[in-house]
């Protein structure tokens, strides 16, 4: 009975940045629940194809779709391809994001623009294009934005990244407010430290890791699967009354 509430058979999900790390874990988890999954990638075509194979091996349909999420024409192309192959998207997971650690005083404008373009403009473009299709097709779908604990607390050398993630929190709430009348739910997850390609070098540095672990009450680094479970819940019937919510997945690091 419990599994049935999380069954996504007949649903079509698009996961941006689904080729690797957190996005891949989300794509595989949604596929494992029976959704057809469009796995977006920017450069990692081979990894996107291997995610597709993993989803297909579990019995669901999947497709790898290339697009730079900050490019509006590429986003439209991606949605056309996904819809033609799998049907209209009714679950969007905005996950594709980038990070670089630089002291605020040294951040070059180009680096700030790159982070804002991918993390904020990208989330906006994909969500708007998907939501327009949902409204036109009377699809009561859901959108989950992968934000960050950086939307809640400041940590060193991430001013541009934190600003982009704080922007995602208000984008989530504003979209939730405006799209509720169409039956579309919009929520976000706020992961803390999750070991991925994005931060593996830092996590493998014992001094850096010890400093970070001191701020995590549960005392461990997260895994991509920790995020995937929360996204599956937000996409499920059990989250039917949730919209505009921010769900922390951070071992308690933003409690205080
Ligand atoms: N790891 C953490 O500790 C952590 C914590 C909080 C929040 N997050 C958030 O979680 C999300 C995923 O992070 P991650 O750690 O899994 O990162 P990651 O390992 O670096 O993977 C990033 C993913 O985003 C894709 N991507 C990057 N730029 C893109 C673009 N312009 N267009 C389309 N796809 C693009 C990459 O695709 P290609 O490889 O195909 O280029 C890749 O699939 C990000 O939004 C990040 O901010 C991560």
91: pLDDT strictly greater than 60? yes
Write the pLDDT tens digit of every residue in 173-201. Answer: 999 999 999 999 999 999 999 999 999 99
Q: What percent of the chain has pLDDT over 90?
A: 97
**Could you give phi then psi for residue 3, rounded to 5 degrees?**
-60, -35
What average pLDDT does the segment 33-42 reach?
A: 98
CA gap 249, 148 in Å, rounded: 9
Whether residue 148 lies in the annotated active site:
yes
Whether residue 140 lies in the annotated active site:
no
- The residues, ordered by sequence, that sit 6+ positions from 83 with a Cβ below 8 Å of its Cβ are 89, 133
Q: How confident is the model at residue 5 (pLDDT cuts 50, 70, 90)?
A: confident
Q: 2 C-alpha vs ligand 1 centroid, how far in Å? A: 31
What average pLDDT does the segment 207-216 reach?
A: 95
Report the atom number in ligand 1 closest to the C-alpha of 227: 10
CA gap 70, 225 in Å, rounded: 26
DSSP string, 135-182: HHTT---EEEEE--GGGTS--TT-HHHHHHHHHHHHHHHHHHHHHGGG
Q: 17 C-alpha vs ligand 1 centroid, how far in Å? A: 6
Write the pLDDT tens digit of every residue in 218-230. Answer: 999 999 999 999 9
What's the whole-model pTM score? 0.98
Domains of the chain (ranges, CATH numbers):
2-249 (3.40.50.720)
């Amino acid at each position: 009975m419990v599994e049935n509430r999380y069954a996504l058979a007949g649903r079509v999900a698009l996961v941006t940045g689904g080729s690797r790390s957190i996005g891949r874990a989300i794509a595989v988890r949604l596929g494992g629940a029976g959704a057809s999954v469009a796995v977006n990638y920017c450069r990692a075509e081979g990894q996107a194809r291997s995610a597709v194979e993993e989803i297909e091996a579990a019995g669901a349909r999947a497709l790898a779709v290339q697009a730079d999420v900050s490019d509006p024409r590429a986003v439209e192309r991606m949605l056309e391809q996904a819809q033609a192959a799998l049907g209209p998207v009714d679950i969007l997971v905005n996950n594709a994001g980038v990070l670089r650690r630089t002291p605020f005083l040294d951040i070059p404008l180009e680096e700030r623009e790159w982070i804002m373009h991918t993390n904020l403009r990208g989330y906006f473009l994909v969500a708007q294009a998907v939501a327009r299709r949902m409204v036109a097709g009377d699809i009561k779908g859901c959108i989950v934005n992968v934000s960050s604990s950086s939307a809640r607390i400041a940590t060193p050398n991430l001013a541009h990244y934190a600003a982009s993630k704080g922007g995602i929190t208000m984008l989530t709430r504003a979209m939730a407010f405006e799209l509720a009348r169409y039956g579309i739910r919009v929520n976000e997850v706020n992961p803390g430290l999750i070991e991925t390609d994005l931060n593996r070098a830092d996590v493998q540095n014992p001094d850096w890791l010890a400093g970070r672990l001191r701020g995590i009450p549960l005392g461990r680094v997260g895994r991509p699967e920790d995020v995937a479970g929360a996204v599956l819940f937000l996409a499920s019937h059990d989250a039917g009354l949730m919209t505009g919510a921010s769900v922390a997945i951070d071992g308690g690091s933003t409690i205080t």
